């Protein structure tokens, strides 16, 4: 009798300890994104060993850079319980503005673009916070405005960088460990945002808004300015994505590279463990969300699924991954 008791405790203690360890680093939705990325990567590695050997990881990382930057901004907005449907359009407008201004004002140009995109994001936030309108409808509206602005600014054609493009291009052409600087820029931003959320009053306040906005208001959290800040950060990240697009392509057009990043970026944020209803985010796992989104098309080809089925697999993966990693309880209401 005592023997069996001992045995069960022997088994139970390590599992409990392991569970506690998982809890300490933030639960299943914190390690889920990493595990999912590694599993898909493992499948690709087994089926096409040549891909991993020939710098495939670097290719995934470099193609995920604009998605990662946009996803980080999106994650900040999702964290305060809102959504920013306009950030990819802001990023593309930023890329077009950069291509237009890089010739005339050279080094100042990226700075101007970042200022402009941050301001665009902040305008979203200001209208949201002071007119108290739903973010989905508001940013859907501003999405249309930014899209039109991109069409008008580029005159519906591809804008090439006239001169002074070398400095921006070097962000893509130089790198650490064969991975371009544009990706490391995203990693750096992720670490900065993680520190902001973890260690500062501002970041804690943002998460509080996402968890329970009424409670945050009653606890004297400055909800309005923090929401504006979240949207401004999304605009800033979109500006960086615009720079990454120019670094990669050397040109920008309303229908070219970066014109359909909105949904992949949202998917990356969600696969990265961000809750769509707010209050749960980890910028560090969003990195793996973006890598997964960039890996899925490569993985489908590696597994031997025909190219036409790619978007089908993509859709199924989004649903499956979120269904697997989402934290939920039985009585909760999901909209």
Partner 1 sequence: MVHKVLAEQVAGGMNTTAIRIRESGIERRARFRGLAEPLSLLAALVVLIGVFSLFNERFLTASNLQNVLTQSAIPLIVAVGATLVILLGSIDLSVEGVMGATGMTWILLSANSRGGADLGPWAWVIALGVALVLGVASGLIFTALKVPSFIVTLGMWYIGLGIATMLYGTDLLPRLEDEALSGWTSRITLGLPNSFWVALLVIGLGILVLRSTRIGRVTLAIGNSETIVRSAGLPAFRVKVAVFAIAAVLSGLGGILATVQLDIGSPTVGSGVLFIVIPAVVIGGTHLGGGKGGILRTVLGVFLLTILNNGLILSGVESSYQSAVTGVILVAAIVFAAWSQRDRLRVAK
Q: Which residues bind partner 1 (CB under 8 A)?
A: 81-83, 127-128, 130-138, 140-145, 147-149, 151-152, 156, 213-214, 217, 263, 266-267, 270, 276-278, 306, 308-319, 322-323, 326, 328, 332-335
Which residue, 60 or 265, has its beta carbon nearer to partner 1?
Answer: 265
Q: Please check whether residue 285 is in contact with residue 72, taking contact to mean a CB–CB distance below 8 angstroms.
A: no
Which residue, 147 or 164, has its beta carbon nearer to partner 1?
Answer: 147
What count of other Cβ atoms lies within 10 Å of the Cβ of residue 151? 16
Smallest distance, Å, CB 247 to partner 1?
Answer: 27
Smallest distance, Å, CB 272 to partner 1?
Answer: 13
Distance CA 232, CA 38 (A): 33
Q: Which helix (H) or strand (E) holds 315?
A: helix 310-325
Smallest distance, Å, CB 21 to partner 1?
Answer: 27
Smallest distance, Å, CB 25 to partner 1?
Answer: 24
Smallest distance, Å, CB 14 to partner 1?
Answer: 31
Q: DSSP code of 175?
A: E
Which residue, 146 or 172, has its beta carbon nearer to partner 1?
Answer: 146
Q: Is 43 exposed, middle or buried (0-12, 13-18, 19+ CB in 10 A)?
A: middle
Which residue, 68 or 318, has its beta carbon nearer to partner 1?
Answer: 318
Which residue, 11 or 152, has its beta carbon nearer to partner 1?
Answer: 152
Long-range contacts of 174-182 (CB under 8 A, 24+ apart): 175/58, 175/62, 177/58, 178/55, 178/58, 179/57, 179/58, 179/61, 179/62, 180/58, 180/61, 180/62, 180/65, 180/247, 180/248, 181/247, 182/62, 182/65, 182/66, 182/243, 182/244, 182/247, 182/248
Smallest distance, Å, CB 178 to partner 1?
Answer: 31
Which residue, 121 or 180, has its beta carbon nearer to partner 1?
Answer: 121
């Amino acid at each position: 009798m005592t023997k069996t008791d001992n045995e069960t405790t022997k088994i139970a203690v390590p599992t409990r300890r392991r569970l506690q360890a998982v809890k300490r680093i933030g639960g299943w939705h914190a390690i889920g994104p990493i595990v999912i990325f590694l599993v898909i990567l493992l499948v690709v590695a087994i089926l096409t060993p040549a891909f991993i050997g020939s710098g495939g990881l670097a290719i995934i990382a470099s193609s995920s850079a604009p998605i990662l930057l946009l996803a980080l901004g999106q994650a900040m907005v999702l964290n305060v319980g809102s959504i920013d449907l306009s950030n990819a359009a802001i990023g593309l407008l930023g890329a077009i503005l950069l291509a237009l201004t890089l010739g005339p004002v050279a080094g100042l140009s990226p700075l101007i673009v970042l200022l402009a995109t941050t301001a665009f994001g902040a305008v979203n936030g200001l209208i949201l916070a002071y007119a108290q309108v739903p973010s989905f409808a508001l940013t859907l509206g501003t999405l249309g405005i930014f899209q039109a602005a991109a069409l008008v600014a580029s005159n519906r054609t591809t804008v090439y960088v006239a001169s002074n493009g070398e400095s921006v291009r070097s962000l893509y052409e130089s790198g650490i460990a064969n991975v371009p600087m544009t990706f490391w820029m995203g990693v750096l931003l992720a670490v900065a945002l993680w520190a902001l959320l973890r260690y500062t009053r501002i970041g804690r306040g943002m998460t509080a808004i996402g968890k329970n906005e009424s409670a945050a208001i009653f606890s004297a959290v400055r909800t309005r300015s923090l929401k504006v800040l979240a949207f401004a950060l999304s605009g800033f990240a979109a500006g960086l994505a615009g720079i990454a697009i120019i670094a990669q392509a050397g040109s920008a057009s309303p229908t070219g590279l970066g014109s359909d990043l909105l949904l992949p970026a949202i998917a990356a944020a969600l696969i990265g463990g961000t809750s769509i209803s707010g209050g749960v985010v980890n910028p560090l796992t969003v990195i793996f969300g973006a890598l997964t989104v960039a890996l899925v098309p490569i993985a489908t080809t590696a597994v031997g699924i025909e190219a036409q089925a790619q978007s089908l697999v993509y859709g199924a993966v989004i649903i499956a991954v979120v269904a697997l990693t989402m934290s939920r309880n039985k009585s909760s209401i999901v909209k």
